[in-house]
Amino acid sequence: MNELQKLLIRKHQVVSQFKRNIKDRSSQDDFTIKLSSQDKLIQSQQDTIGLLKVRVLILDQGFAI
What are the tens digits of pLDDT across the range 8-22? 888 888 888 888 877
In this model, does residue 44 exceed pLDDT 80? yes
pLDDT category of residue 65 using cuts at 50, 70 and 90: low
The model carries a pTM of 0.47
pLDDT category of residue 1 using cuts at 50, 70 and 90: low
H/E/C letters for each residue in the chain? CCHHHHHHHHHHHHHHHHHHHHHHHHHHHHHHHHHHHHHHHHHHHHHHHHHHHHHHHHHHCCCCC
Mean per-residue pLDDT for 41-56? 89
pLDDT category of residue 64 using cuts at 50, 70 and 90: low
